Structure formats: C-alpha cells, structure tokens
Structure 1
C-alpha cells in the first residue's frame, strides 16, 4: 500500500478538464497549421515534483511537436479523484499509478507492451504486471534507505554502518538501544519510529507467500516484527511513539540529533539531505532485506481513442525509458525518485554527489518482487487498521502474538473470497 502521502487539493476544474482533454485530434493552441493529438496526463506531487514532471513533459513535446500533453496535477486524494473521473467517463488519457495500488485500477487501463530488458531491476520490470498482463510501463522507482547521524554512533562507541552493506536487523536493534539516552523532552532516540510493513520485510517476513495465495503476516516472522515495533516504543524503548511524533518532521529530528537513525527514508528527501554536512550524516541501506519498494507506472486508460492511444504509447515510452526524461527525475532542488533505466543513473547521482545515492540504486536493484494479489489494497487496509487499533503499534494494548494470527485468518478469508 502507498506509504507516500499524496498532498494538497485538486487543481480547480481538474476533473472537468479531464473530459475536455480527452477530445480527439485537434489543432495545438497557437498552431493553426497542422493537426496534433492532445492527450491528458494525470499525476500527483508537491510543487517541486510538479515542476519536475512539467519539465519532463516539455522535453517530450519538444521531441514530439505533433503531440500536446495537457497536464492534470491532482494535489490531494489522487486515487479517489482518479477513480471518480474514470467511473464518470472523464478519465485522463494517461495516469500515474503506483504498483501498490494497481490491483485496484488495472481494469481501467489498456494492456501495454513492456520491454523488460530496458530496466536494470527485475522488480521494476515486473511492477506493472497483474496476473500475467502488463498494464503500466515503469516510470520511477521509490526505494527506501536509512539516513544516519555518524556522530551518534561514534559517541556510543559503535562502528559507523557501511554505505553498501546493510546492518542485520539484530544489529540495528542493538545499536538503536545503545544510542538511546536521557528522558523526557530531552531524550535522544536510537531510531525514528519503525513502520511495521517495512520492518516485516526487513526482518524476513512478508504479507503473502511467493505466489500470493496465502497470507503470512501473522506467522512467526510477523509476530517477531510486530513485537520489535511495539517494544521500540515502550517507555524504555529506542524510538518515540507514533503518537508523540504525530505532525513532527523526523528529518528535522535527525538533523538536530534527536534521533540517530531514520529508516524508511525516501528519495523525495534527497534535496534536504544534500544540504546537510555529509561528514556527519550518511545514507546507508535499510537493515536486513530492506523495505518494500514502490514503483510508479504510467497507464493508458481504456477510453483513449486510437489516435490518443498511439500518442500515449509514444509519451509513456519516452517518460519511461528515454534519458531526456529520466535524467530529470532528480535535481538539487527536487527528486521524484530513482530512474528506472541504467543510462540515467549517473544523472541521478549527480543531484547529490556526496550523499551516497548509490544506496537508493542498490535498493532498486535488490528489491524483492511482491506477488500480485487481487483486492490487495482492501485486504491490507483492513489488516493495518485492525493492527493499529488493537496493538501498541497504534493505539491498542493487545498482544501482537494473539492479534496477528487472528488478523491473518481474516486476511486469508478475504483472499479466498477473491477466487
């Protein structure tokens, strides 16, 4: 499920414009001569991300002057508004959709052709595949790494982690405990709060088995992961509670020395991190097996006409694999994520040459491919809501060893009902 929050408010008239932008071939504004195809493109993001995407669109239009892209920047409730526009017959021609949400959207998209050899990561190449059919082409990878304060390790007499080799999950916990000190408002923590879904994978667990037919989040590995998260937030634990940090910026806590390790660090934070003193702060791999990776893809909606589909295929191929687009994914001021093609990785690293961005690339290369699961979003949302309400991962008090097997059974019932 999506970890990244889609921000702000839909642009005025956006959903209305989705219908207008899906009109058939017409003259490009300001060009009374030849005809061009106009297609609409829906996406989300903050101001800086919007600027990045618009620069990519401009690069495409320069290379393809016969195709006009009408951007539809949806700043909040992206998936809900996209679903509404699709149901109302006002679908955009092309839409960005995360692989984590694709199981709920793929029926609205046309099958697409994906050249798996164009991408350096097998997980990226498979991200848009649902039940054996590709519905999106890869656009941007959003792998996770960990940001650390090297000074905290040195102060605690610990070896600073390698920028290449991940800590084991056990070593992470031990280090976090040793770097936690003090009490009350002045307490410093070894780690920011852990995300259960991420820690589950890092510590060797998973939501489902390899073929997506069995729920496994309540097995031994799941219970162990949940206990680690719960114990980390106890009064003597190594992380602040999720309630205590609600509305707080964990990156600021890292910068101020209030936390020594910041797991679940996404590439959209690259510009902020690059501004720090790299002699003190370092990006390293996530512990253990790493966290789930989100891959945003580009889908062509079924309502697109033949002419629009042809134009959309050119557009999605350009955004997905042409260095003229992929080189723009990260800069010194903003980063959407990691390029999905090898030829653009050097441009990505140049956005923050001293920040060890190779850690993000390695996380993409080594990412674990998650199976397709029908009704994945509903199943995982139901599970997470119950887990948060019943255990100290959220606001509850029940023992994860009791709760998780029950929730796994509920998950299995929901999974079986999709067959």
Structure 2
C-alpha cells in the first residue's frame, strides 16, 4: 500500500472516531446534554483523564461526556476534524499550539484567581482573549542520585534553591567517571530547556522576535554541545539512542537527570528516598507546557454551556484536580492551590513541592503561530549542524543563522 493511501486511511479513520464522539446536544430528556472530549496521552495519562471525567459526571449527571482518546498525530487529526465540521465539543490543547487553533475555539471566561501560577493564568490567552481554560501544568525539575554526590565529596544540591548553570556544569564534570564502571554527571541536555536555564529565550516575551542567536542562546548551545562530546559529561548521542535515562539514574549510571517531568512521578516514587532526590532545575528552569480545554466554536448553545461547566470543573474543582497524580500515573501538576496538598501526599517522601515551585516560578511561554513547525525546523538545523546533534559547526556561527531563519518563518506566520 502506498504512503499516500496509508495517510488517507489514517485521516479517514480519525474522522470516523471524532465524528462518533461529536457532541449531540440536548437529547430532550430532562435537559440532559451530551458533549465530546478529545485528548491525547499514554495509557496511564488517558486513565487519569477518564477518572477526572468520571468525577465530573458524578457531580453533573445531566451532562454526558463521550471521551475520545486520540493516540498519535493528535493535532493533525484534530485539525482534520475541525476542517470537516466535526470538531469535538471540548479539545485538550497545549499552550504552544493554541495560537494555531484559537480561531476554532469560542472565547471563554477564565477566572485567573483560581491559579497560583502567573504562567498558568496566561496560558489560554491569545492576543488579549482567552480561548481555552488551563487545567494541568507540566513543570520540570531535576532528579539526582545523592549517593554519587556523596561518593564524589560534593554537596547534595538544595531541595529548594536552584543550582547555577555554572555550578551544574562544574558538578557534572566532577561526577563523570570513566574508569571502571562508567558514570556520567548528567543525562543528555535539552537545548530548549537549557536556553531558559541560562537566562535566554526562544522568543521575545511578546512573541514577535526569535532570540536564540544572542549571547545566552549561543552559550546554551555550547554547553549542550560540549556536554555530549566523547569527553563530555553526558552520554553521547549514540550511547543515549533508545536508552531509558530514568533507568540509568536508578542504576547509578548518571548522577543528574534534568528535564524531569511530572509524568515520571510514579517511577520516582518507587526509588529509595535515601539515595534519590528531586531538586529544582538549574538557573531559571525550563519551559513549562500548560494544557488547556478549548470549546468548539460551532457547538450549540446547550453544548457550549455544558462544555463551560466541564472546563470549569476540570480546571478548578478539587474533585478533578486532586486526581492529577497518583503512584500509578501522573498527568501533570494541579493548577489550583487547594489541590497542592493532595498532590504532595501522593508520594510524601518525595520533594514534590519542587514541581509546584517549578509551576509557580515558570517563565510564561509566548504565544506564537506555527510554533511546532518553527521549532521543528530550528531544532533540525542545530541538530544537523552542531554537536548538539550530529554536526561539527561552531554554535556561535550557527545559532545567529538559525535565528534569522526562525524570524523569517515567524514573520510569515504573522502576515
């Protein structure tokens, strides 16, 4: 079967699935309303969302929510459904993708007082209008093997105060051991994250300019590239290919694992708390994804009202927010203060407050049209040209060129 035929079949299949779950509106029976809810995620994340939906339906028996779990190519399938007039009533959407979908969503009222994080409060707002209701945050922390710090006569990082990027690099080099059983100071670094950590940014705060080619962007690229060289402090690209860095951390093969997300909480909770710890990301942290709920513009009045009730419940009711994480699965960090204690109680011996702090202190991500396409082209450029990936060119030369190309794409998107 040709590639085009396979793609056509996949799109047709996704349309059938989305159509089957589209909102049917009021059924005429006692004011009951049916809405559809599209979302992504792995098995555990989907189970968490279904549990939140079940809590909603228990609280609101007059509203039936038909869950539509889309596995793979979520945004493409969502876009196809919207274009075909078969949009789900409510769709999960990340804050970085919202600008590309905002025209398909109704403006919504968002009570920003619900949220303890300024970054979360702004996540659904594009151009001064709220098009989605934030309901889960995915702040990043760093996981460490404390026994490796002790063995290297290094102080264990603070559970509350971030290391400086310079201290991180210094410690990572000292923690790297090549004689005997090889140990690396850190798991591979993510450029986009390290860019924020050193005080740089992908875009200017207003989202109109690309900024990775300035001094901070070049510095971040150099750190990431040098770290992955054969004499660096992270596994090389070849060594890390297909490997589970979380298992390497558990096995004592790496001392620090930046870019540690809340979805890893169940795995971390199973580790020995006397040997492993959660601490803040170095410097200014990493970009935080905020997932929100958009309501279809073409929803009927009854569907829209039911969808508003659903979105409000998911984003601000402890009955939903308290289900955000468990020892079996974790979708993200709750966004309301009232559910923080329930979140931390999931693994009381783990410093889950670090995740909450990461959400509280996150640098807001500017809303940019065609973000994913721009980011993909940029990362491909520095991956192929510098030692961040498989290349050998100087980041000081490459990053300003990437910024210029990024700016061209950004300007075209805003025309």
2:374 is equivalent to residue 379 of structure 1: yes
Counterpart residue number, 1:163: 159
Counterpart residue number, 1:365: 360
1:13 to partner: Cα distance: 5.8
Which one has the bigger helix percentage? 2
Structure 1 runs (4+) deviating above 4 angstroms are 10-14
Counterpart residue number, 2:3: none
CA deviation map 1:265-291 (0-9, x unaligned): 000000100000001000000000000
On the 8 A contact 1:11/1:75 being kept in 2, the answer is no
Counterpart residue number, 1:112: 108
2:40 is equivalent to residue 65 of structure 1: no
Moved more, 237-246 or 143-152: 237-246
Counterpart residue number, 2:215: 220
2:282 is equivalent to residue 281 of structure 1: no
Q: Could you tell me how far apart the structure 2 residues matched to 1:107 and 1:11 are?
A: 21
1:398 to partner: Cα distance: 1.2
Q: Could you tell me how far apart the structure 1 residues matched to 2:267 and 2:74 are?
A: 25
Q: Could you tell me how far apart the structure 1 residues matched to 2:294 and 2:26 are?
A: 23
On the 8 A contact 2:14/2:77 being kept in 1, the answer is no
Counterpart residue number, 1:55: 51
SS in structure 1 opposite 2:137? strand
Q: Say what the alpha-carbon RMSD is for the aligned residues.
A: 1.7
SS in structure 1 opposite 2:238? coil
1:45 to partner: Cα distance: 1.2
CA deviation map 1:139-173 (0-9, x unaligned): 10000000000011011110000110010000000
Q: Could you tell me how far apart the structure 1 residues matched to 2:60 and 2:238 are?
A: 50
Counterpart residue number, 1:348: 343
Counterpart residue number, 1:175: 171
On the 8 A contact 1:103/1:377 being kept in 2, the answer is no
Moved more, 135-144 or 388-397: 388-397
Counterpart residue number, 2:5: none
Counterpart residue number, 1:98: 94
Given candidates 235, 244, 251, the residue that maps to 2:239 is 244
Given candidates 205, 213, 218, the residue that maps to 2:200 is 205
Q: Could you tell me how far apart the structure 2 residues matched to 1:199 and 1:384 are?
A: 13
Q: Could you tell me how far apart the structure 2 residues matched to 1:239 and 1:298 are?
A: 37
On the 8 A contact 2:89/2:299 being kept in 1, the answer is yes
CA deviation map 1:195-251 (0-9, x unaligned): 000000001110122222221101111111001001001111000123321211100
Q: Which runs of 5+ in 2 are unaligned?
A: 1-9
Q: 1:243 to 1:99 in 2, by over 3 A?
A: farther
Q: Could you tell me how far apart the structure 2 residues matched to 1:371 and 1:156 are?
A: 40
Give the TM-score taking structure 2 as reference length: 0.94
Counterpart residue number, 2:295: 300
Q: Could you tell me how far apart the structure 2 residues matched to 1:78 and 1:106 are?
A: 16
On the 8 A contact 1:104/1:377 being kept in 2, the answer is no
Q: 1:304 to 1:183 in 2, by over 3 A?
A: farther
Q: 1:153 to 1:380 in 2, by over 3 A?
A: same
On the 8 A contact 2:184/2:234 being kept in 1, the answer is yes
The aligned length equals 405
Q: Which runs of 5+ in 1 are unaligned?
A: 1-9
2:17 is equivalent to residue 22 of structure 1: no
